[in-house]
Amino acid sequence: MMSVVRLFFMLIWTLSLMLIAPFLIPLTFNRQFPLYMARTIFSKGLLKIAGVRLSVFGVENIPKNEPAIYIANHCSHLDIGVLCRVAPVNLHFIGKKELAWVPIVGWYMFAAGHIFIDRKNRKKSIASLKKASIKIKEGKDVIMFPEGTRSKTGEINAFKTGAFHLAIDAGINIIPIHIKGTHSLWPATNNTITPGPVTVRIGKPIDSTKYTKATIKEFVAAAKSSIEKMGSN
Tell me, what's the pLDDT at 3?
84
Spatial CA neighbour of 24 closest among 44, 38, 11, 14: 38
Q: Considering its fold, how many domains does the chain have in total?
A: 1
Q: Identify the pLDDT of residue 57.
A: 97
- pLDDT tens, residue order, the chain (233 aa): 678 899 999 999 999 999 999 899 998 988 889 999 999 999 999 999 999 999 999 999 999 888 999 999 999 999 999 999 999 999 998 877 788 888 888 889 888 888 887 777 667 777 777 777 887 888 889 999 999 889 999 999 999 998 999 999 889 999 999 999 999 999 998 889 999 999 999 999 999 999 999 999 999 999 999 999 999 87
- What span, in angstroms and rounded, lies between the C-alpha atoms of 132 and 164? 12
Domain with residue 105: its CATH number is 3.40.1130.10
Q: What is the pLDDT of residue 1?
A: 67
Q: According to the model, what pLDDT value does residue 80 have?
A: 94
Q: How many CA atoms lie within 13 A of 24 on its CB side?
A: 15
Per-residue model confidence as pLDDT tens digits over 135-185: 788 888 999 999 988 999 999 999 999 899 999 988 999 999 999 999 999
pTM: 0.92
Res 113: pLDDT: 85
Angle between helical axes of 2-20 and 43-50 (0-180°, round to 10): 170
Q: Is the dihedral of CA 160, 31, 35, 21 positive or negative?
A: negative
Q: What pLDDT score does 73 carry?
A: 97
Q: Provide the 8-state DSSP code for 42.
A: I
Structural domain for 179, as ranges: 2-231
